Amino acid sequence: MKKRGIVFVLSGILMVGGITGFAYASSKSNPVKEENKARFESKLDEKEMIKLMKKNDFKDAAKALEKKDYEAMDEFMNNMTEDDYEKMIEIMRESGYESMANMMESMDREEMIEMHNAMGGSQACHGDGNSMMRGF
């Protein structure tokens, strides 16, 4: 009889421990899953950005982004006109990227170019699954 009681108590402890462990594991974030989700969302943002660029007469820059031609993207950034810069801000705002538009408005074109180059240029912003747009 005592053995049966011990078996029931141990079974109960194991069951409670198993349920607690399962509940903890399911509530804990999975870093690999989160990273994959962020990369997927980044790719969606990049595709959306390419569509916006093509739609708004930045076809050469969109093509460079699609082909990962970082040199061409840097050339575009370094040679954009004030009108291009203002148009980009307007496009960002109208397309739901209010935070990006506000950030761009907070500095002039020259300061934006300087910041872009200081961050490592297009390859640092858009290469290897990174996306400058992720936080916006």
* Per-residue tokens: 67: 């082909």
Could you give the CA distance from residue 9 to residue 6 in angstroms, rounded to a whole number? 5
Which ranges of 56-108 would DSSP assign to H, the alpha helix? 59-66, 70-79, 82-94, 98-105
Q: Which residue has tokens 């569509």?
A: 51
Per-residue pLDDT of the chain (136 residues; tens, 9 = 90+): 677 767 666 777 777 777 776 666 666 666 666 665 555 445 557 788 889 899 999 999 899 888 988 888 889 889 999 999 999 999 989 988 888 889 889 999 999 888 888 887 766 665 554 445 444 4
Task: Copy the structure tokens of residue 93.
Answer: 């705002």
pTM for the full predicted model: 0.57
